[in-house]
A and B are shown apart, each in its own frame.
Chain A
Amino acid sequence: MSTPGFLEVGISLILVVIAVVIARYWRIPVEKDMALGSVRAFVQLVAVGYALEVIFDLQSPWLILLALAVMIIVGAHAAAGRVKDVKRPFVITVTAMTVGSLVTIAVMILTRIISFEARYVIPLAGMIIGNSMNASALTASRLTTDLKDNRLAIESALALGKGWRVASKKYIRNSATAGMMSMLNFMKTVGIVALPGAMTGMILAGAEPLDAVLFQIVVAYMLLSAVTITSVMAVELTIRRFFTRCHQLQHDV
């Protein structure tokens, strides 16, 4: 099988038309979003494709780092938009995502699982950053909601002389778990319910299934690490906004 060209991509628009027709028939008001999303996906992905070709050809470590920085900043901005009721959420999401992503990528490079080449680092970083983005947004927004909704419970513990960490232990755990949940669910069903993207891509590109599987296992572990670090960082950064050094739950964060 050859890889599809622009003609094949154009033909595949039939699938978008099918989706739009179904949505319209069922009066689901998403036709506009579907059309816009399809165009947007095309433009973004083609632009990324050209950018990656340039980056791969130039082989510059600085370009790799610049690409990572852009990916993290854009991802963190999107994640921050999902975190309500906290001032400057971007600081939380960008820090958590940077630590979670860079630690994981660094471990992969230092242990020589991958080499520091754009061809490996950028696609894997894309997966890591995408998952970290969701983890940071879910963790920070869940924690914020829980702390605001459970003021009486938390202050009841504080008033008994408990420290802020003890008083908010339940909410710390719940929010970190929320951030990791989709990853944990993915790990439970991977290979059974669905074949993950990286593995599917490799098989379609002609790799041996076992090679693709081994690579996918590494990807799963990598994502688990990134999501866990990001969630924990997001908790630590968010919760410090809520409590003072004197173990007081702030009214305005």
Chain B
Amino acid sequence: MATPVLEVHNLGRAVTQDGRVKSIVDDISYNFFPDKIYTIIGPSGSGKSSLLRLLNRLDEPTSGEVVFHGKDHCDYPPCELRQKIGYLFQTPYLFEGTVRDNLLYATKNLSDESIKLLLEQAQLKPEQLDRPTDNFSGGEKQRVAIARLLATCPEVVLLDEPTSALDPSYTEAIEKLIVDIVAKGKLTAIVVTHSPEQALRIGKEALLMVDGKLVETGEINQVINEPQSELGKLYKQRQLK
């Protein structure tokens, strides 16, 4: 059996809100295996994005641990870890300058060959390389952000609602792009989405989160259509309404 690339053991994060301690990620354990797409679904505020932030170590867990390639998260220098576990934000933020500037910001000394490959992977046109990104559409910006993410050669990519800030016309193209990149790039992708339909289109494995807890895991159809847990059944009912 394959070794997990990323393991999560009893992971939790609690924050203080209005003087009260609230658990936003609550005792989550799961193993992510290489070369697969996982989708994390659940209602808004269920802790999906907070979990992703813990995996990339943008936030610090208050309990539990994340293990990357058999080694505790904390044993890696954070900057090195983040290059291996990349993160794509819901709203793409591009740095000032051209597409090339953005790619070189991620990794200096990228060869022309590597840049060409990144453009191909993100389905960007070669003539876009030296164009300022200011006038790019939302979909194009997200493609540039994906190319920039891939420039650090990550082994795991964390995609936080990658299409929710985009015009619906770009959704399908970005979804296909994600599936394509994972298939070709030997990557593990963990995609957060609030849409079960999108999860069905993208992934095979799904995790359902409710109130910070992982309530259902397994094959995507089963998680969405045949949940075993009470919270899972409740989520399904709400989706059907």
Contacts and interface: CB of A to CB of B under 8 A. Distances in A.
Given A153-B93, A244-B60, A246-B57, A159 B78 contact: no
- What secondary structure prevails in chain B residues at the interface with A? mixed
A210 interface: no
B173 interface: no
B93 A160 contact: no
Of listed A155, A156, A249, residue having the most chain B CB within 10 A: A156
B91 A152 contact: yes
A247 B74 CA distance: 12
B60 A161 contact: no
Contacts of B181: none
Contacts of B80: 161
Interface string A149-182: 0001101111111110000000000000000000
A159 B59 contact: no
A251 interface: yes
A123 to B, nearest CB: 45
A155 B58 contact: yes
Given A153-B93, A160-B152, A248 B57 contact: yes
Contacts of B58: 155, 158-159, 248-249
Contact of A248 (B60, B87, B89, B106): B60
B86 interface: yes
Interface of B: 15-16, 56-60, 78-83, 86-87, 89, 91, 93, 95, 105-106, 145, 148-149, 152
24 contacts: A152-B91, A152-B93, A153-B93, A155-B89, A156-B93, A156-B95, A157-B105, A159-B56, A159-B82, A159-B87, A160-B152, A161-B79, A161-B82, A161-B106, A161-B152, A163-B79, A244-B60, A246-B57, A246-B78, A247-B79, A248-B58, A248-B59, A248-B60, A251-B15
